[in-house]
Chains A and B, each alone.
Chain A
């Protein structure tokens, strides 16, 4: 069993706690992109996107490289999949569970309604 080093785990979980940053990673998994591309795609300012990319970079999830005038972002060398998959599977598990809970709560509500 290979363990991610702990500071990395902390940094990557912090980085992954944001929906935009997860979106950026998904995007970069499909193709490298410039900050400008990403800012447009996520409808935010360049500065905002730079900040997000910088958080991802510090977590080792993204690397950036300046080619000419454009800064290109790509997925980092570190194994992102572990954390991303773990947290996503965890979320899906709870989501599925909570969907079922929704159904139970809905039924309880229906049963109560005649009394109201």
Chain B
């Protein structure tokens, strides 16, 4: 279905694709210049305001990030259904304002994914592509399959681990 002539603004246009054995890709276009969208990711005080969707019962308990190449981050989140908080941490492999962020997800031992976010200018709007590369097909399959038989509650917890692990 094409939406000819309509503005790509404030519509729920988030798409998800499994691109290959080891990759998941999330895309969305934002109505704003690339440098501002990048800023909202790279400045911790801004990042805190949107990363944990309230509608999913998630809150950020603490977040520290040294957003530059070689810097580290640590994010702790809480979920309404769980007393235990979840910690996510890793390292920025590449920080290149305003177009690229790459970080590791080290909380899952050797099975952590590497997340790359690119910001592409599209005539004043910004195309954001979140690309998650798992170390092996097994690691991604495991991430996908682990939710397969559980109910929603449990599935969401597992999802949260995976999803929040996408970033810092």
Instruction: Give the interface of A toward B (CB within 8 A).
Output: 1-4, 6, 9-10, 13-14, 17, 19, 79, 82-83, 85-87, 89-91, 93-106, 108-109, 112
The residues of A that contact B147 with a CB separation of less than 8 Å are 82, 85-86, 89
Given contacts A2-B148, A9-B145, A82-B147, contact A105 B159 (CB under 8 A): no
The residues of B that contact A102 with a CB separation of less than 8 Å are 10, 30-31
The residues of A that contact B146 with a CB separation of less than 8 Å are 1
The residues of B that contact A93 with a CB separation of less than 8 Å are 53, 56, 159-160, 163
Q: Is the CB of A105 within 8 A of B21?
A: no
Measured CA separation A82–B152 after assembly (Å): 10
Q: Is the CB of A3 within 8 A of B159?
A: no
Report the minimum CB–CB distance from A99 to chain B (whole Å).
8
From the candidates B18, B40, B141, B145, name the one contacting A108 in the complex (CB within 8 A): B40
Instruction: Give the interface of B toward A (CB within 8 A).
Output: 1, 10, 12, 14-18, 21, 24, 26, 28, 30-33, 36-37, 39-40, 46, 49-56, 128, 130, 137, 141-142, 144-149, 152, 155-156, 159-160, 162-163
Which residue on chain A has the smallest CB distance to residue B53? A96
Inter-chain CB contacts under 8 Å: number? 119
Q: Is the CB of B14 within 8 A of A94?
A: yes
Q: Is the CB of B51 within 8 A of A89?
A: no
Q: Is the CB of B40 within 8 A of A6?
A: no
Which residue on chain A has the smallest CB distance to residue B9? A102
The 4 A-B residue pairs whose C-beta atoms are closest, nearest first, are A96-B53, A100-B50, A82-B148, A105-B32
Given contacts A17-B18, A102-B31, A106-B32, contact A9 B144 (CB under 8 A): yes
Q: Is the CB of B16 within 8 A of A94?
A: yes
Which residue on chain B has the smallest CB distance to residue A86? B147
Measured CA separation A97–B146 after assembly (Å): 23
Q: Is the CB of A103 within 8 A of B39?
A: no
Measured CA separation A93–B39 after assembly (Å): 21
Q: Is the CB of B144 within 8 A of A95?
A: no
Q: Is the CB of B26 within 8 A of A94?
A: yes
Q: Is the CB of A104 within 8 A of B46?
A: yes
CB-defined A-B contacts under 8 Å, sample of 23: A3-B141, A82-B147, A82-B148, A85-B155, A86-B148, A86-B155, A87-B16, A89-B155, A91-B15, A91-B16, A93-B56, A93-B163, A94-B26, A94-B163, A99-B12, A99-B53, A100-B50, A100-B53, A104-B49, A108-B36, A109-B32, A109-B33, A109-B36
